[in-house]
Copies of this chain bind each other. A is one copy, B any other.
């Protein structure tokens, strides 16, 4: 980094939900200015601009692009319109950091990835668990051959907001109810956190999913399977087994009924020379290994790991360096393809589907 980093102007498209995280992240970066917010809801937009001291607001993305005074955008719109909002930004030659999941289905996601490649801009999907330092170190160790050739793994993302009230009343609050209803845009636990644990496992393994079998389950939660307008038909638990391109096999699972775990991602991964165990809850993370002599005696030790930079910081650095950054749109599309196949497998008696 130079002392005087190149000034960058960003806009934030969509000012609800996670937008404040983006604004806060950029606020602390030298030379980075959020120059505008975009939202069709004027009240929400005004509040956001005021809260984060942002100068301009636009009621539509078209207006913002017509104005043009920005280098990059954070796309924080609802999932279903990531596709329609990102394509014009790419066409205008803007760098884009898009919230996950990249799109509602693989076809849309692949089109976004292809457009980004054609545009030659920095593109990134905001898989926030990539910020987990223990996970990054695990990926580095596996790539460096620390556990030899991969053979077997187990990955889980466990939540319990359907069995305890720590995050609020799932049966009364809209932020939880919509996640239980396909008509409200939910792909259930598979779409909600499945993308994270899939990315987590395959990023550490350094190998993509080659074949996947999936079973989804929706449990009875309310009389008649509905609460008000919400038909509670989205999946609550997902269990999968996969084969990676490397030949290793493993299980991946996720649930909102995992009483005892708020938000826990766990990965145990085994190779011919050792094993690693990564845990995180989104805030803290740990890394343990059974490597070298330890493996002979089945002992495990805590392993050190350096801090990692956030996606926001790496996105900005990539723009300045004129270099690509991971996880890019192509990665986001690849994950979406696996999720689509998982849902298809569940529909098809869990038959294994090859990528």
Rounded to whole angstroms, the CA-CA distance of A296 and B343 in the bound complex is 31
Q: How far is the CA of A72 from the CA of B164 in the complex (A)?
A: 52
Which of the candidate stretches A6-14, A130-138, A201-209, A251-259 sits at the interface with the other chain?
Answer: A251-259
Give min CB distance, A261 to chain B, whole Å. 6
Q: Is B151 within 8 A of A236, CB to CB?
A: yes
A163 to chain B, nearest CB (A): 5
Q: Which of A128-152 contact B (CB under 8 A)?
A: 147-148, 151-152
Which residue on chain B has the smallest CB distance to residue A217?
Answer: B249
With A250-B239, A251-B253, A351-B350 as given contacts, are A270 and B296 in contact (CB-CB < 8 Å)? no
Q: A260-B295, A270-B255 are in contact. Are A353 and B347 (CB under 8 A)?
A: yes
Return chain B residues, CB-CB under 8 Å to A262. 298
Are A215 and B290 closer than 8 Å at their CB atoms? no
CB within 8 Å of B: which A10-43 residues: none
Given known contacts A215-B213, A253-B154, A255-B151, A260 and B274 CB-to-CB distance under 8 angstroms: yes
Q: Is A348 an interface residue (CB 8 A)?
A: yes
Q: Is A271 an interface residue (CB 8 A)?
A: yes
Binds B, one of A240-248, A303-311, A314-322: A240-248
Distance from A207 Cβ to chain B, minimum over Cβ atoms (Å) = 14
A348 to B259, CA, bound (A): 34
Number of copies: 4
Give the shortest distance, in Å, between A341 (CB) and chain B (any CB). Answer: 9
Tell me if B297 and A275 are in contact (CB < 8 A): no
Whether, in the assembled complex, A344 has its beta carbon less than 8 Å from a beta carbon of chain B, the answer is yes
Residues of B within 8 A of A344 (CB): 344, 347-348
In the assembled complex, the CB of A56 is this many whole angstroms from the nearest CB of chain B, namely 36
Known: A217-B247, A350-B350. A295 touches B239 (CB 8 A): no
Q: Looking across the interface, which residue of chain B has its beta carbon closest to that of A288? A: B260
- The smallest beta-carbon distance between A299 and chain B, in angstroms, is 8
State whether A241 touches B243 (Cβ < 8 A).
no
Q: How far is the CB of A215 from chain B (nearest CB, A)?
A: 5
Chain B: CB-nearest residue to A348: B348
B-side contacts of A226, CB under 8 Å: none
Is there a chain B Cβ closer than 8 Å to A165's Cβ? yes
A282 to B: closest C-beta gap in Å: 13
- Is A98 in the interface zone, CB < 8 Å from B? no
A257 touches B270 (CB 8 A): yes
Q: Quick one: closest B residue to A219, CB to CB?
A: B151
Taking A152-B253, A163-B273, A344-B347 as known contacts, 15 extra A-B pairs with beta carbons closer than 8 A to each other, sorted by chain A number, are: A160-B298, A163-B272, A213-B350, A239-B250, A239-B251, A240-B241, A257-B270, A259-B273, A259-B274, A259-B290, A261-B275, A261-B290, A348-B351, A349-B349, A349-B353
Complex A-B: 30 CB contacts under 8 Å: A147-B259, A151-B237, A151-B255, A152-B253, A152-B258, A160-B295, A160-B298, A163-B272, A163-B273, A166-B296, A211-B215, A215-B241, A215-B249, A217-B247, A241-B251, A255-B270, A258-B270, A258-B275, A259-B271, A259-B273, A259-B274, A259-B275, A259-B290, A260-B289, A260-B295, A261-B290, A344-B347, A348-B348, A348-B351, A349-B353
